[in-house]
Amino acid sequence: MKIEYVEKKIKDIEADLELIVVVNKDFKHPFCKKYKETLEEIGFGAAQNETALLPESKKLFVGAKSMDSLDIRPAV
């Protein structure tokens, strides 16, 4: 796997998988909103370090308590 950090708009990035950090169990964010029902069906509660992969949409969701570097470090 190759991880590359770039400064582009999200819509302009091509990637094999999108990593989405769900902060403080907030599924109202636009990145999560569309997938909330599916994530709940598979039992994803967005607890700290909890993960859920939706391969059909190429998205990996990771739960974090906050955007503090210690909380999101396991996600990246």
Nearest alpha-carbon partner for 21 in 41, 73, 5: 73
Q: How many CB atoms lie within 10 A of CB 74?
A: 13
Has residue 5 been placed in a domain? no
pTM, two decimals, is 0.81
Q: How many domains does the chain have?
A: 1
Has residue 32 been placed in a domain? yes
What pLDDT does residue 45 have? 95
Has residue 2 been placed in a domain? no
Has residue 7 been placed in a domain? no
Has residue 46 been placed in a domain? yes
Give me 74's structure tokens. Answer: 């396991």
pLDDT beneath 70: ranges in the chain: 1
